[in-house]
Structure 1
Amino acid sequence: MKRIACIAGALLLIATPYSGRAAGDGDRSGFNRHWYLQVQAGAAYTLGETSFGDLVSPAAALSAGYRFSPVWGLRFGLSGWQARGAWASPASPYDYNFLQGNVEATLDLANLFGRFNPTRTVNPYLFAGVGLNYAFNNDEAVALNDAGYTMDNIWSDSKAFAVGRMGVGVNFRVSNRVQLGLEVNANILSDKFNSKKAGNVDWHFNALAGLSIRLGKSHRKAAAPAVVPATPVKPAEPAETPQESETQPAPEQPAPTPAVEKPQPLRENIFFRIGKTNISEEEQPKIRSLVDYLKKNTVATVRITGYADAATGSQRRNLQLSEQRARNVSDALQQAGIPADRINIDYKGDTEQPFSTAVENRVSICIAR
């Protein structure tokens, strides 16, 4: 059990750089409840008194799971194949078979301690539940007992056992629907499971690798916010000046000031390479476009908002990246002669994702008006 706890802690540390803060209004993706199928195969080990290698046997599992929140889910599975026991002295191993039905709750550690992120690469999880084990084909143990080895918990034909189980696993994202996974689980059964009397419960362990396939969409994407151009405001008509008397001539009315139309806002999206904050040569024309607009419209200002994609990096690192991206655009405008008091900067890290792809969210959005 100490080893399982250590593995859980290690998987959580691995996943931390891929997590952000808790999902909120700025999250651009929403969770969808969905089913998934899981196929696994590997090795089993029934705790005993002989060498480790003598007690290792093949194992397999087929499961269907339902995720009803970003953190919690249920899994229904059928596992089994072969278990192995051994009489210690002289060492006499024996095989028997079993099938086990399982029902367990699953806990997604990455979404528990971080922001829901459907494109996260590493996704560790814990699970715990109960099962019913149906063991059969115990002829080899029966033969040893008949030969005089006196196994006090011997059973023949078949036998059913209640099971408590727990474990830890990690999934690695391959695509929106496919994940590769590794899992270790521990099963607690009656002392009669391996036909030998030990005065305590029997432990049966499995180490499995497998494939998970999501059925249906696991998330939905919100549309990027649209930028609404500002509507020019028409100056108010000058009020009429009342005449002092009928005999006095009306004072001359000043010529009305012609309405000046505000220019349409200009938006430029300055994109950056992954993990970078410098403005690439390909994005320089957008900087020149902003400079030309601000020099032509001398009362206009520009707001620069930096972002980082949520698919990579930690929350802290992404906040730093988004701030530096915004400041580098500001510095480029100032070097081109735009006063600092006409430039406003903001940065969101990965708490907001204005676009639907990770590549587009490595950006500084500049709106001049």
Structure 2
Amino acid sequence: MIKRTFFAVLAFAAATTAFSQAKDNVHLEETVEYNDDKYRVETNSFWSNWFISVGAGGNVYFGDHDRQADFGKRIAPALDIAVGKWFIPEVGVRLMYSGLSAKGATQTDVHADGDEMWGDWLKDQKFNFFNIRLDAMFNLSNLIAGYNETRVYNLIPYVGVGAMSVTEEPKETAISGHVGLLNTFRLSSALDLNVDIRGTFTNDDFDGEPGGRSGEGMLSATVGLAYKFKPRGWNRGKTVTRTRTVYNNAELDAMREKLRQMTEENERLEKALAEGNKEAMKNLVKRIGAANLVVFPIGKSTLSNQARANIGILAEVIKQGDSSIIYTITGYADAGTGSKELNERLSKERAEAVYNCFVEEFGVDKAQLKLDYKGGVDNMFYDDPRLSRAVITSGK
């Protein structure tokens, strides 16, 4: 028992010596706060939120003889294959192949398939084509209601430009413009069901038959699936606050004087140990463990690791020392900053933080601890307001 007490006191003295001799002691604290703003997310890397999609359905071509041709005979199969990326929850792009075939009517036999449609002058028309285009997509659901990774339905209008080509004689290549609505239904975190409806605009003679119109077009509708590659989704935005506190020699002058006194007490303690004087040791331990100072950053009641280490050393002395000693933990705040009410609360929270550290982290008996707080006070040490943002633990 005597030896353990002696070594605990020596450890306390050694730690305090190293602490006081440091030329400058810098403590960094980092606080991370995640915002709950549904419109703010973190921007991810370039390789995040990529997807691939495939869809099938039908299209209807709008050409020169739509009034004479049967609408049902103008429906042709359509295929969509795309790869894309969302840059933010509201904006993305995709590169898409769409095509297969288109049907209409012709009076010049261009792309005619041999079946008569209207008297002896109009025939069925069919030709194969493909369209490569780039679409800019805007997620209207995220734009209006904010990002929600578990939302079931998203409405996504888009516009695009591309190149359309007829793959059989007479071949034709033309610039195309697109406007559409992509409707997505969430099946899982990785899979969506897509319903894509769009209009395509191109030049008048794309079907091989000029008709004196300003242009022709196509209405398409497809249903398919989209797979979203990892990493997918966005994290909520966060604010990181870093507090840098510098403890210099001026802040530790009060402890240096105490260290000098402790050194003298250690010498007497060694003598008491050699002589087997338990009563003298008890009194020495009582005096050595009588005070402790923990300094806090402005406006904070969070203990740094350095403060915890200091408290832990004193906790060992308390547990090994006289159990009749009552230690008062007194919290203070700097009267020069904050209101009276704020300083009352802050000094209490600081005292409670030290109390909880003694009890919960280092197992000090609650019966030996007493809480007190003084609110805001003027400069207690060396006319330095930083040393008033403190908790002092004293025993008697």
TM-score (norm 2): 0.45
TM-score (norm 1): 0.48
The structure where helix makes up a greater share of residues is 2
The structure where strand makes up a greater share of residues is 2
Larger radius of gyration: 2
